[in-house]
Every structure is written in structure tokens, then in C-alpha cells.
Amino acid sequence: MKIFKIVAVFLLVLFLLLELIAFSSDSEIKLDKPLVSVSTFSLYDITKHIAGQSVEIVNILPFGVDPHSFELTPKIMAKIENSSLVIYSGAGLEPWIQKISFSITPLDMSKSVDLRGLETHEHGEEHAHDDEHCSHGALDPHYWLDFENMQKMAEVITRELIVIAPEHKEMYEKNRDTYIDMLKRLDTLYASGLSSCKIQSVILNHNSIGYLAEKYDFHINSLSGLSPEAESSASDIKRVLQEISETGIRTIFYESFVNAKVIESIASDSNVEIAVLQPLGNITANEARLNATYESLMLQNLSKLKKAMICH
């Protein structure tokens, strides 16, 4: 009987040791998985599609949070500081980046793309946005709405992923090619879809789609220039109302995360519809639940633009 007890204790200890070893192995695997921190949805989407499950992606800007009012938390800062790769949009979009102590050099993606300069009338003195959340300067930071820029971003991210996880090089390059093919299809769809439109202008609260307008040749009339936080003046509202009257526009746009009160008032006064355009600085919590992607959201944007501009 005593021998049986000894054997039972031995087996129990052995079982616990095996469990501990298995747990340690799992922990090591998790620790060995590189952390990649990204600051905007477009960077997240590219990284997710190219890296798959080979890295842990730290989404610095949580889904459902307004990019223009975002504040870092200690938890997010700790993850960023422990990342093997940190990529941010740049072009003045993330002033909080200066608050982080990096053990590695973060990658400013804006230095790898073609940035669109702003004409004076696009940002003007009345809409200066030199506050801490929106220090864009004279460059349009929404460069991810240019499909050629997105291709360049995919190339850069692939190269950086290979540096931190060279064992996945073949997979990364294959996924990059697939992603770039998707971007080329989107470009073709936008070019054909917006090539023949009855109305050549779009009204929205914030000039966030300048790259699309420049590439596909339509005009933007925005209430607040480049800054979504700027208050609309009486002259701004008068200008928009006049354009609605002159062009026959039937749909005007606003974005998620912004106060739509003025746009709703204009729509009511002009008897036009309102709709949401997604500039992809971030996505809403609901879009995240629906597993929205850059591709799906850009297709939705195209459908809404075609309807608003009466394209054939």
C-alpha cells in the first residue's frame, strides 16, 4: 500500500512538472513572437495582411477612438517601448510620438511616400490647425488614400518585417504581392467608377480625401479645411449652401468621430441627404466588429461617391 502511495505521489509530481514545462514552452513562444506597433488603421491593415499570425500587432490607436483626441496610456506606451518594430504615419499626424522613449528608431512612413502639398485655399488662416492634435503644416497627412502610396507602404512594411523575422520572408513577399494586386484593382475601380459623373464636386465637413480628389479629378468643398476640429463660420456655411444650389448636389458627407450638427443643419435647410465617408485614420468599434478592411471600406467609399456625384 505504501508503495502505491509513493508511486501515486511520483506520478503527480511528474504530471505537474510536465505541465510546467508545457506552460513555459508556450510562454517562450509568445515571448518570441515579435511585437509590431502601428499608429493608424492603414498601417494596421497592411501589417495584418502581410504578417498574418507571425507577429503580435499593437494597435496604438484603439478602434473606435478619434485620432485627433487620442492620448497615450501607460499600458500602450509599455508595449510600444517593447516592440521590435514601430511604424507611425508622420506628416504631423501623431504629436504624441515625442512622448515615447524608444529602444529602436521608429519608422516614419511619411518619408517613404509622396505627400500632397496644400494650396492656400485648402487650409487657409481661418482654419489654421497648429494645436497639439492637428499640426499638419502645409502637407496633407491622409496619404493612405492614394493607392500608389499604399503600395509603397506595403513594400516598406514587408522589408521591415523580413528584418525582424527573416524566417517568414517567402510568406511576407507572397502576401505583399497579393495585397498590392488588391490595391491595383481598387485603383482601376475608382478610375472607371468616377470617370463619368454628372456632378464633379463633393461637400464634406473636413478635407480628408484630397488624394482621391486629385487622382480622380473632382473638387472638394469642405466646411473646415483640413482640420476636423475647426469651427465653421457663417461664410463657410454660406459657401457650401451656394455650391449645393449651383451644382444640384443631393448628398453631403461627414466622417465618424466628428460632430455632424452643422452638416445636418445644412442638409435640412437644403433638403439633401447626408452620408458618412470613411477616411481610414481609424475605424469605428462597429466596423472593427464587422472585421472591416481597407479594401471593404474603400469600396464602400467608392459606392457613396458614385451615388453622390451621379456617376455612370
Report the pLDDT value the prediction gives residue 26, as an integer from 0 to 100: 40
Cα 276 to its chain centre, rounded Å, is 16
pLDDT digits (tens, 9 = 90+) for 94-139: 888 888 888 899 999 999 999 998 764 454 333 333 333 344 458 8
Domain assignment present for residue 106? The answer is yes
Residue 182 sits in the same domain as residue 292 = no
CA distances (Å), origin 252, targets 203, 248, 264, 272: 5, 11, 9, 7
Regions of the chain short of the pLDDT cut 70: 1-31, 119-137, 225-230
Are 126 and 256 part of one and the same domain? no
Percent of the chain, pLDDT > 70?
82
The grid coordinates of residue 265 equal 443643419
The domain total for the chain is 2
Residues 173 and 218 in one domain: no
- The CATH number of the domain holding residue 163 is 3.40.50.1980
Stated as kind and residue range, the H or E segment containing 215 is: helix 210-216
Claim to verify: residue 75 and residue 41 sit in the same structural domain: yes
Count CA within 13 A, CB hemisphere, residue 170.
1
Q: In this structure, are 48 and 108 located in the same domain?
A: yes
Q: What is the pLDDT of residue 86?
A: 97
Q: Please check whether residue 2 lies inside any domain of the structure.
A: no
Do residues 185 and 233 both lie within one domain? no
For residue 113, the tally of other CB atoms under 10 A from its CB is: 20
Domain match, 242 and 296 both: yes
Query: Rounded to whole angstroms, how far apart are CA atoms 139 and 304?
Result: 26
One domain, residues 47 and 180: yes
CA neighbor of 223 nearest in space, from 269, 261, 273, 197:
261
Contact 258, 226 (CB under 8 A): no
Instruction: Give me the domain span that covers residue 107.
Output: 32-190
Q: Do 121 and 150 lie in a common domain?
A: yes
Query: Is 182 found in the same domain as 73?
Result: yes
| Residue linked to cell 500608389 | 148
At 29 the pLDDT is: 36
Residue at 273: amino acid letter: E
Q: What distance in Å separates the CA atoms of residue 307 and residue 312, rounded to the nearest whole number?
A: 9
Q: What is the mean pLDDT of the chain?
A: 86
Residue 112 and residue 73 share a domain: yes
Smallest CA-to-CA distance from 302 within 190, 217, 196 is with 190
Q: Report the distance separating Cα 161 and Cα 63, nearest Å.
A: 23
Q: What percent of the chain has pLDDT over 90?
A: 65
